[in-house]
Amino acid sequence: MGLIVRDTRQDDFESVAKIFVELHRVHSDARPDWYLPSDAPLTRDEFDRWFGEDMFATVAEQDGRVVGFCNGCIQHGHRSPLVRQLTQYHIDNFAVSSEARRGGVGRALFEDARRRAAELGCDKLTLSAWACNTAALDFYAAMGMTERVVHLELDV
């Protein structure tokens, strides 16, 4: 069967939720000051919102098993008249199961997102990544992404 990327279906919830636990753990372990631990960080209600207007969700399936996912939304324009009114294919969550990493799954998901963004006429493909997630930052750089904004913080 090999590797395919397809639209997410409602019956993918359990598989996606398992991978989402891994994704959340990366963040909650690295940033316990920001993220609360959770054994079920993706609720069915949140998953159902992935199927709304201007939303997208895809999964990578390898040999019949979901091994990764990508979801987000299409963002139209900007509230400032001083900024170009671009359409963005914005990825909210992107994850590959730990046992499937470094096997081309992430690349396949990303290339599919790039293709879909172009087909929809989007100007940009965007996402946010935590500075502490160096593996993700290295992956996105290898995919050709560049920094646009750097968010800074200060505990007060």
Q: Is position 147 within any domain? A: no
Residues of the chain with pLDDT under 50: none
Please tell me the distance from the alpha carbon of residue 131 to that of residue 47, in angstroms, as a whole number. 26
The pLDDT value recorded for residue 81 is 83
Q: For the chain, how many structural domains are there in total?
A: 1
Please report the DSSP string for 3-58 in residue order. Answer: EEEEE--GGGHHHHHHHHHHHHHHHHHH-TTT----S--S-HHHHHHTTSTTEEEE
For 28, the token pair is 């909650």
The CATH number of the domain holding residue 124 is 3.40.630.30
Backbone angles phi, psi at 55, to 5 degrees: -105, 155
Please tell me the distance from the alpha carbon of residue 21 to that of residue 107, in angstroms, as a whole number. 21
Which secondary-structure segment (H or E) carries 136? helix 134-142
Q: What is the pLDDT of residues 21-50, one digit of tens each?
A: 999 999 999 999 999 999 999 999 999 999
Q: Is position 73 within any domain? A: yes
Q: Is position 41 within any domain? A: yes
The pLDDT value recorded for residue 1 is 63
In b/e form, how buried is each residue of 76-115, taking b as 16+ CB within 10 angstroms?
eeeeeeeeeeeebbbbebbbbbeebbeeebbebbbebbbe
Domain span at residue 54? 3-142
pTM exceeds cut of 0.75: yes
